[in-house]
Structure 1
Amino acid sequence: MAMAYPYNQPLEVIHNAYSPQQTSEIVSRMGAAKARMRIDKIFVSAFMAGAILAFACAAVSVVNTAPWYQENAPGVIRLFSALIFPFGLVAIILTGADLATGSFLFTTVSTLHRRTSILEMLQHWTITFFGNLAGSLFIMGIVIGYGGILDDAAYRAQTVKFAAAKVAKPEWHQIFIRGIGANWLVCLACFLSCGAREMFSKIVAIWWPTFAFVILAFDHLIANMFYIPMGIFLGADISVGLYIWKSMIPALLGNIVGGGLFVGVVYWYMYLAGNPSPILIDGTSYGGPTTSLFGVNADVETPPQTRVDSDKTSMA
């Protein structure tokens, strides 16, 4: 028996998604909420995000260890790696943890929307960067490294080879460009997940842009915080200085451009800039503080019956 179509439901419930303008508003609210968290909570949230992504990277390192396929069918290895890796970003987004690369989207939009200051944005970027690094190195060194997960000769050789290829082979400008592509797709995944209303749709929205970034072998700042230190741990001929200069810096700058400019600025400009009317999310408008770019408060109150504070959103 066919199921009756729910004509009496509101259109947005039937479609089970927010509009692009509403999604941009949600991203702005989330950016304001994230930037105004206590510093210790930002760090712990970022630590967890770095740790979760490191688990995904470790799983990919195991899948990559298939010498015959690496020589004869490298696309097959990339396919399996790209299918596995997105579980890390899914777990990060659905648990509310903070990647610095995601902050390049969320806090950029909230700052352009005058809900956070440049100082708050840069503070969030800095804390999440070091929190992600701490979480990634913890999993890399303690759980995977001293746990001996990649100690077998084949795993060790492939991990060292992969880390060396990430640093030695591409030029500085190529890593920068690959960084743009990586976080363009990762932040697109974040944006799409904010537009979904329920769990399954969020997972699908996150999975496929992340799949694309992995299969294209782009450079993601936080993923490389596992891959390259893991290679160094296992004996790769890479110095810490070379890693910072040749990989971390260009990937960082590329990720800022990819996520902050090509996703954050673009969708802010398309859907939020110059819009004088409040954007309602499930019947509520933003009721949190507003600010100038440099942190001078300009609070605007909204009517109590339609007000929602920035830290009360629960999207993605």
Structure 2
Amino acid sequence: MAMAYPYNQPIEVIHNAYTPQQTTEIASRMGAAKARMRIDKILTSGFMAGAILAFACAAVSVVNTAPWYQENAPGVIKLFAALIFPFGLVAIVLTGADLCTGSFMFTTISTLHRRTSILQMLQHWALTFIGNLAGSLFIMALLVGYSGILSDAASTKQTIAFATKKVVAPQWHQIFLRGIGANWLVCLACFLACSAREQVSRIMSIWWPTFAFVILGYDHVVANMFYIPVGIFLGAPQITVGLYIWKSMIPALLGNIVGGGLFVGVVYWYLYLSSGDAVVIDGSSYGGPPMALFGVNADAEELPSQQRRESDKATIV
């Protein structure tokens, strides 16, 4: 029996990623959902994100303890650190935890899209920041500091040197500019993750922008919530809490807001959502009922009266 393909019928379309416009719409919906969470859940989500990222930072601190390579091949150590660190952001995104730095993008888009208020946006920023700090300090003190993971002489020396390099060596404006670069890449990773339809693509889309941020040595305010306090905990002579807040936390935070909120959030909202047109995601408009999409109409919104017909599905007879 000969096989005949029904060319007169539309074929079913399978897309392996969302379009940039759909991705921005997804980010806007996520920002609205995150900003409307209960306060206790935002704090808990922020705590978990800070703790997870602190684990990644601790792993990098162990990798950094390689005196010969630090002297003779520092790029090799940066490479290993950049390959390891992204697992933290991957775990955060896949578990739905909230970094304040990611909120700078998500809630900026949802606020510009008029789905959340400025007050809701700022509240989410503040609560996730507090949660991130609590989670980072919890891991730093109890599971790294008092547990003695970095208490040997080589690890202590390298950890203190790394914290000192982060705070003492650069000028205030340099940390601010590094903060812009850091969260531009981190929020780009989160944005690309919104475009993926399955986990492997989501993981890979997160991994490489985060890899770039780490290997370039940029300053991420939440990552520094581990790196600098653990240096203070281990006795860094040139770093005080006040110096950390003024010279590292504030400029990195402001830079992260600009990098994630402006260069990712504002830019992609302007490019794809500022027109005000409704964007359909898998057959569902924002706030509307879900509708199944199929065939050549896979990117078009169908009227509620239209019914799915089996004849529209590609078949081989």
TM over 0.5: yes
Evaluate the alpha carbon distance shift between residue 281 and residue 240 of structure 1 in structure 2; reply closer, same or farther with a 3 A threshold. same
Q: Deviations over 1:57-82 (max 9, x none)?
A: 00000000001110111100000000
* 1:138 match: 138
SS in 2 for 1:279: coil
Does 2:157 match 1:154?
no
Deviation at 1:278, TM superposition (A): 1.2
Which residue does the alignment assign to 1:80?
80
Q: Kindly indicate whether residue 206 of structure 2 is the aligned counterpart of residue 206 of structure 1.
A: yes
Deviations 1:3-24 (A, max 9, x none): xxxx9431xx2x4100000000
**Alignment partner of 1:120: what SS?**
helix
Per-residue Cα deviation, 1:271-296 (whole angstroms, up to 9, x for no partner) = 00023x310000000018xxxxxxxx
> Aligned residue for 1:104?
104
Larger Rg: 2
Hey, what does 1:250 align to over in structure 2? 251
SS, match of residue 230 in structure 2: helix
- Distance of 1:142 and 1:65 partners within structure 2: 20
Distance 2:125 2:51 in 1: 17
Larger mean CA deviation between 53-62 and 146-155 belongs to: 146-155
The CA deviation at 1:305 is 5.7
Give the Cα–Cα distance (whole angstroms) in 2 for the partners of residues 9 and 249 of structure 1. 52
Residue 203 of structure 2 aligns to which amino acid in structure 1? I
Unaligned runs of 5+ in 2: 1-9, 289-301, 306-317
Supply the AA of the counterpart residue of 1:155.
S
Relative to the length of structure 2, the TM-score reads: 0.87
What SS does the aligned partner of 1:285 have?
coil
Identity of matched residues, %: 77
SS in structure 1 at match of 2:275: coil
1:40 aligned residue: 40
Partner secondary structure for residue 148 of structure 1: coil
How many angstroms does 1:148 deviate by?
0.7
Residues 147-205 of structure 1 deviation map (CA, whole Å, 9 limit, x = unaligned): 11101110000000000110000000000000000000000000000000000000000
Alignment-derived partner of residue 266 in structure 2: 265
Deviating runs (4+, > 4 A) in structure 1?
303-306
Q: 1:304 deviation in Å?
A: 11
Q: Which amino acid aligns with 1:123?
A: Q
TM-score by length of 1: 0.87
Partner of 2:313: none
Matched residues, number? 283
Does the alignment pair 1:125 with 2:125? yes
* Cross-structure match for 1:174: 174
**SS of aligned partner of 1:116:** coil
Residue identity in the other structure for 1:256: I
Do residues 163 (structure 1) and 172 (structure 2) align?
no
* Partner of residue 314, structure 1: none
Work out the CA distance in 2 between the residues paired with 1:183 and 1:37: 23
Unaligned runs of 5+ in 1: 1-6, 289-302, 307-316
Residue identity matched to 1:207: W
Please name the residue that 2:291 is paired with: none
- Aligned partner of 1:66 in structure 2 is 66
Deviation sequence 1:207-255 (CA, Å, 0-9, x none): 0000000000000000000000000000002110000000000000000
State the alpha-carbon separation in 2 of the partners of residues 304 and 283 from structure 1. Answer: 10
CA distance in 2 between partners of 1:212 and 1:8 (Å):
40
Local SS of the residue matching 1:278:
coil
CA shift in 2, pair 1:117/1:305, >3 Å: farther
